[in-house]
Amino acid sequence: MCRIAGIASLDGRPVLPGEVQAMCEVLAHRGPDEAGLFIGSGAGLGMRRLSIIDLETGSQPLASEDRSIWAVCNGEIYNHGDLRRDLERRGHRFATRSDAETIVHLYEDLGAECVARLRGMFALAVWDDRRHELLLARDRLGIKPLYYAEIGNRILFGSELKAILEHPDVERRLSWEAVGHLFAFQSTPARQSIVEGVRKLEPGHLLQAAAGRGIRTRRYWDLRFEPDTRSGAAELGERLRAGLEESVRLHLVSDVPVGAFLSGGIDSSAVVATMSRLSPGPLKTFSIGFDERDYDELAHARTVARQFGTEHHEMVVTPDALDLLDDLVWHLDEPFGDSSAIPTFMVSRLAARSVRVVLSGDGGDELFAGYDKYVVEGRERRAERVLRPFHGALGIVASAWPRWARGGNFLRHFSLTGAARYLDASTLLRLEDQRRLFLPEAFALLSAHDPWRPAAARLRGTAGHWLSALQSFDLAGYLPLDILTKVDRMSMAHGLEARVPLLDHRLVEFAATIPPGLVLERGVTKSIFKRALRGVLPDTILDRPKHGFAVPLGRWFRGRLGPFVRDLLLSRRCRSRGFFHEPFIADLLARHARGRDLDAAIWTLISFEMWCRRFLDATPSWRPSRAPSVTAPLVLGRVGA
């Protein structure tokens, strides 16, 4: 597991070692064990390594036999053993046992098409010194992040936004497209970061850049939901169990101890149950709880831990956790509206005391329709058929209803249809709310971009069953932008590698063949998954209502954290930015104090303001000095961590 950064000059302009080193040093938390650097003619690749596989000789950057191909990779290639054997049969010679070395040899044979052969979680960069061509690629589901920016005739890239911001040529300007998306959906968009000009490489995409040909991005993998109507539920359940076991077995490959996050929900419990059968010794599990009983799941996690005899560790999160807010903002890298980043940060810190790798159950809700919103959507689709003749009248009444009066949102929601209604239920602040939150100048910039339009187009453009369309939408959006972002940033904040076996792409492709009626069966979420796990997990775990990874922020904000929130969001520093309408924020806080549950909006505002203080107001620490002439590749394999 390495954190990568680099620069490629399409016009042959030299890359300075200090440029790449500065980008890598800001990622030191993600790779505390060692650093590596390659500087060639027109390119520089750097890494910070967290040693997981091949602890002794697995340093990066890695080179082909003739040292014309160089690569760095963040993540794990789980099928590297099979790839290595095939490559060795074709005459390739390996210098290490590293899983990432397969990339350079595959690239020698297949060029950019090598990415399709990789099974794992990864963000990688390959520099072809013969062609002076750069390849960037990101794994199919977006488990590992990758940012890039085109500055003049140069491409800067890195595992985190902050690595690119460390370069003095990158201007720290807000992307108002991203700001609008943040306050609508609590995350920045799939292609654009919060900083104008810095983009994200989307999941399942690769980028190629070369002099004279410019930059091209393309999709190399896409998921299609095509129901298997020939197989019965029993057969599909057996294949599902077998696929889960194969994926967990691959994800257990490591030269360091492996543990598991355990929430007590079905997904993490299924992973723990499978791990316990495959692991040679006692399994370490890690859980987080709260003093507020209606938010606490520790009892369920203990049930699973006892069932499988794990060495269980747990921690209770209190409001004092927000003392770590500066750290959270730094590691999240962008403003982030999901407050469950707090317990994810804490459980990662807990796990990092005992292991260097954990498996999590993320992805199961999208694959097997585990969200209650899918059940709600099914009900509302049935209601829509009844209410269709009245939609016009509902819209008129809703538009005349007082903005904050109870019942107005209900009326407006049911005046919508199809994709618009589903997106409405997923929206934090609608356009009319954003208009009142932002000052006119800021709103004019923000409203030039409509975050709902591309989302609605994607939903409407997905063929097949409505449930499959929603799952596809969330797998491409909510999963990588929220869930996987949170897990990656919060685990790596502590030098902990989090792996997600439910998101092995072959298991995902199989799940997409399960008929929707077996996934959400008569209003029962994850029906086929529960069927497959019956007898493996306790019935009390399989049959209990879903409990999201929620945080009692509302109570905390009404209690001891209230003064902190007011002091931050109504501060002179926040007002001086000229973004927000102060009376709206004051009213928001007052309504929350009176009992309205507005903690998600408040948390998003906190995250945004704290991000502005930490990143927008800052300047890069590295400044260029006189450039040394680089006439031959510079390779530093083990720089002191």
Output the pLDDT for position 627: 38
Q: Report pLDDT digits (tens) over 73-87.
A: 999 999 999 999 999
Q: Which of 199, 92, 85, 214 is nearest to 149 (CA)?
A: 199
Output the pLDDT for position 382: 82
Q: What is the mean pLDDT of residues 487-515?
A: 96
Does residue 262 contact residue 517 with C-beta atoms inside 8 Å?
A: no
Output the pLDDT for position 439: 97
Question: Looking at the annotation, which residues are catalytic?
Answer: 2
User: Of the ranges 28-42, 326-340, 447-461, which one carries the lowest mean pLDDT score?
Assistant: 28-42
Q: What is the mean pLDDT of residues 429-455?
A: 94
Per-residue pLDDT band for 203 (boundaries 50, 70, 90) equals very high
Q: Rounded to two decimals, what is the model's pTM?
A: 0.92
Q: Report pLDDT digits (tens) over 233-285.
A: 999 999 999 999 999 999 998 878 899 999 999 999 999 999 999 988 889 99
Q: What is the mean pLDDT of residues 553-570?
A: 90
Q: DSSP letter at 195? A: B
Does residue 614 contact residue 197 with C-beta atoms inside 8 Å?
A: no
E strand or H helix at 178, and its extent?
helix 176-185
Output the pLDDT for position 418: 78
Per-residue pLDDT band for 232 (boundaries 50, 70, 90) equals very high
SS3 label, residue 141 = coil
Output the pLDDT for position 633: 45
User: Of the ranges 110-114, 328-332, 497-501, 633-637, which one carries the lowest mean pLDDT score?
Assistant: 633-637
Instruction: Write the class of the CATH domain 2-222.
Output: alpha beta
Per-residue pLDDT band for 555 (boundaries 50, 70, 90) equals confident
pLDDT at 631 over 60: no
pLDDT higher at 375 or 546: 375
User: Of the ranges 267-276, 375-384, 399-408, 514-523, which one carries the lowest mean pLDDT score?
Assistant: 399-408
Q: Report pLDDT digits (tens) over 283-298.
A: 999 999 988 877 778 9
Q: What is the mean pLDDT of residues 482-491?
A: 96
Instruction: Write the class of the CATH domain 233-313+345-369+472-542.
Output: alpha beta
Does residue 295 contact residue 392 with C-beta atoms inside 8 Å?
A: no
Per-residue pLDDT band for 639 (boundaries 50, 70, 90) equals very low
Output the pLDDT for position 625: 47
pLDDT at 575 over 70: yes
Alpha helices for 449-500 (secondary structure H):
452-460, 466-476, 478, 484-492
Q: What is the mean pLDDT of residues 104-108?
A: 96
Per-residue pLDDT band for 403 (boundaries 50, 70, 90) equals low
Please report, for the chain, the start and end positions of each structural domain, with discontinuous segments joined by +.
2-222, 233-313+345-369+472-542, 553-616
SS3 label, residue 314 = strand
Average pLDDT, the chain: 88
pLDDT at 162 over 50: yes
Give the strand order in the sheet containing 34-39.
198-200, 147-151, 154-158, 2-9, 43-49, 34-39, 634-639
Domain 2-222 and domain 233-313+345-369+472-542, same fold? Reply is no
